[in-house]
Amino acid sequence: MTARQVPERLEALTAPRTVALVGASSSPGKITARPLSFLLRHGFQGRIVPVNPGRAEIMGVPTVPSVADIAGSVDHAYILLDADPALTALEQCAEKGVAVVSMLADGFAEAGPEGLARQDRAAAIARDAGILLIGPNSTGVVSTASGFVCTTNAAFAAPSIARGGTAVLSQSGSVIGTLLSRGQERGHGFSTLVSLGNEACVGVGGLGQLLLDDPKTRAFQLFLETIRDAEALGAFAEGARQRGKPVVAYMIGASEEGRQLAVSHTGALTGGRAAVSAFLREVGVHEAQQFETLIEAPRALSRARLPAGRPRRATVISTTGGGGAMVIDQLAARGVEIGGLSDAARAELSAQGIPLGHGKLVDVTLAGTKYDTMRAVVDRLVCDPETGVLIVAVGSSAQFNPELAIAPIVDAAREAPEGAAPIVGFPLPHAPESLALLEAAGIPGFRNLEACVETVALLMRAPPGPRSPSAPLPVAVTRHIDTLPPGVQSEAASGIVFEQLGLARPRTLLLGSTDPLPEAIDLVFPLVAKLVSPDLPHKSEAGAVVLGIANREELAAGIARMKASADSHAPGYRLKGVLVQEMCHGLGEAIIGITRDPLVGPVVTVGAGGVLAEIYRDTATRPAPVTLEAAREMVAAIDGFAPLRGYRGHPEGDLEALAQAVAALSRLALDPRVEEAEANPVAVLAPGSGVLLLDALIRTAQRASG
């Protein structure tokens, strides 16, 4: 779409002058009767044209037999027919020049090859005609400002629909109604709600971009079942970030295809969920782990902004010590830094005789129900440069004396200077009146502890920085990959690629599969011996590795033992040789790997390495490739590397070299032929000594035929 087309398309989506309901039913019990009923009920002022050749009128509205018979132009059509008739109707919409078409029918991509062929045809018709096609399997579009309630979802039979600033984009049609009813029960209103269905032509990212400059939309709420276009979703998220419109997503499932196809430990560690979560965070989408957070967070984040210069920490004031401690515990569990009273603030408030408690909780239980006391504390803390976000946890007074409990918070927020810390309210008891007072004042208020602290944790996250373009892969790397057959590569072949990327390996002797063991071995004992075979990606499991070899005789015996074990584990395996290395020990071990998730593309993972990597799952994942700075952040996030940071006198390791290895290895994602790559274990040596690659694995893609 051109810049000129965007406002026209947005109007056709949310406030069409004419809407055609193709296949509208006159039977009140049918879902295909709902769109017309809802449009009439909610005061849509545009022209409604039901298309039904068997009726002269429906609900008092004159009908026409086909789309072609509609006088004048049509901005939006909702097709309510079965699959094959729906395609015919879509062709008629194309001939009519309809700008936006929503399609209810199922029987498309979800229905096997025949359905997929139907969906491909629908997409081709829409693309050729320049139609914005929503669906198939879409329960419709709702825009509250225009009364355009063009949906089959039964929840919109509500007497009224609250207007607000949150736009909902959902891949589940039924969840649209859930979000509406739960949001309205909290006093939350919506701008636009769209059921995306199969996303044959346009999905979350494309529709999100269309709604970015809608002045009625201040935040986005996404319910996701998959990610079909990661690039469009990323562009939408970036546009929303630039406009200060938070995007919060809740995703069910996540592809397990990548995990099922993986042969590396990294593939088992990353799976679908970790890759998707890493992608969402990287592009700036706030991922809600609790469904309650999805309902609360978009509105709260659009109101509670962290001003520039404010620290990313939370300070908790409470009129109930136990309740406040509970909030702090939950915040800390989510990695939120807790701030307390600054020395200056404590001295100033204590001089006024205000009891403040001890530790980081600002506990005013003994005097918190007094307006002047609470007002003084809130006033002081929202202006304190050491406060990031201020959470006010209110006890029983929120239920029984809402004006007394909430008034000082509201007044302090109203009179706070520009750049003051944002305030979040959390009444611990059931206190609808207090929540209503907070809502009216524009202060985020929560009835649920988990949603409160998770939303604050999202607010505390630093926005994603610009992604620097990665340096291209060295020519030597791409040329070596050119020589590799498709499939799992041996450690010998994989190790060459990693060495070309700058990862050092121990001194090595490579013997051919039939080579005799030389009399003189120019390596320092003890040694490690491994069988080289693309059929043995996990050598430990196959008994294809021997450690601590003290002399030539032990080496010969070890090689014979490995071959016998491999024959038993993988009969018919292809032996390419024997790799003999000097045995090296680091101060710790790491795993670095790349996988390609079918939803979001390549990701890089780093974690504590070795044979127990899959058990501990202490990892950090990012979309690949990553910058050196991002690699440092990933390494810093691994709890298992605490000893390598000098914890309790443990000798420090060269974690800077590890970060450099992560950044270097992540560049393999630039070559689409590399489906998986893993260095495991990587020995971390003393500072200044670097890291050593002790085992390597690469899986390359099958080459396209023809």
Give the DSSP letter string of 389-444. Answer: EEEEEE-THHHH-HHHHHHHHHHHHHHPPTTPPPEEEEESS--HHHHHHHHHTT--
pLDDT for the residue numbered 663: 96
pLDDT for the residue numbered 370: 84
Query: Which helix (DSSP H) or strand (DSSP E) does residue 19 occupy?
Result: strand 18-22
Name residue 181's amino acid.
S
* pLDDT band of 541, cuts 50, 70, 90: confident
Tokens 């790799």 belong to which residue?
A: 579
* pLDDT band of 254, cuts 50, 70, 90: low
Handedness of CA 672, 678, 684, 685 (dihedral sign): negative
pLDDT for the residue numbered 267: 41
Mean pLDDT across 22-49: 95
307 phi and psi, to 5 degrees? -60, 155
CA distance 563 to 545: 10
Q: Higher confidence at residue 539 or residue 602?
A: 602
Q: Based on the number of CB atoms within 10 Å of its own CB, is 521 exposed (0-12), middle (13-18) or buried (19 or more)?
A: middle
Q: Which percentage of the chain shows pLDDT scores above 90?
A: 78
Q: What angle do CA 582, 585, 587 make, to 5 degrees?
A: 160
The predicted-structure confidence for 266-286, as pLDDT tens digits, reads as follows 444 444 788 899 999 999 999
Query: Quick check: 705 pLDDT over 60?
Result: no
Q: Which percentage of the chain shows pLDDT scores above 70?
A: 94
**Three state DSSP letters for 44-113:** CCCEEEEECCCCCEECCEECECCHHHCCCCCCEEEECCCHHHHHHHHHHHHHHCCCEEEECCCCCHHHHH
The predicted-structure confidence for 211-242, as pLDDT tens digits, reads as follows 999 999 999 999 998 899 999 999 999 999 99
Query: Quick check: 263 pLDDT over 50?
Result: no
Query: Quick check: 326 pLDDT over 70?
Result: yes
The predicted-structure confidence for 147-184, as pLDDT tens digits, reads as follows 999 999 999 999 999 999 999 999 998 999 999 999 99
Name residue 512's amino acid.
G
pLDDT for the residue numbered 68: 95
Mean pLDDT across 631-636: 96
Alpha helices, H only, 441-543: 449-460, 475-482, 491-500, 539-542
pLDDT for the residue numbered 300: 96
Q: Which domains does the chain have, with CATH numbers?
A: 5-252+285-297 (3.40.50.720), 312-443 (3.40.50.261), 507-582 (3.30.1490.20), 588-700 (3.30.470.20)
The predicted-structure confidence for 638-668, as pLDDT tens digits, reads as follows 999 999 999 988 999 999 999 999 999 999 9
pLDDT for the residue numbered 366: 67
pLDDT for the residue numbered 491: 87
Query: Quick check: 614 pLDDT over 90?
Result: no
The predicted-structure confidence for 112-153, as pLDDT tens digits, reads as follows 899 999 999 999 999 999 999 999 999 999 999 999 999 999
What is the DSSP-derived secondary structure letter of residue 201?
A: S
pLDDT for the residue numbered 259: 41
CA distance 331 to 314: 8
The predicted-structure confidence for 57-77, as pLDDT tens digits, reads as follows 999 999 999 999 999 999 999
* pLDDT band of 471, cuts 50, 70, 90: confident
338 phi and psi, to 5 degrees? -100, 130
Percentages of the chain per state (helix, strand, coil), in multiples of 5: 40, 20, 40
Weakest mean pLDDT among 25-34, 267-276, 323-332, 601-610? 267-276
pLDDT for the residue numbered 539: 85
CA distance 272 to 256: 5
pLDDT for the residue numbered 262: 40
Q: Higher confidence at residue 357 or residue 664?
A: 664
Q: Is 703 helix (H, G, I), strand (E, B) or coil?
A: coil
Please provide the average confidence, as pLDDT, over all residues in the chain.
Answer: 91
pLDDT for the residue numbered 703: 61
The predicted-structure confidence for 663-688, as pLDDT tens digits, reads as follows 999 999 999 999 999 998 999 999 99
The predicted-structure confidence for 385-417, as pLDDT tens digits, reads as follows 999 999 999 998 899 888 888 999 999 999 999
CB 9 within 8 A of CB 132: yes
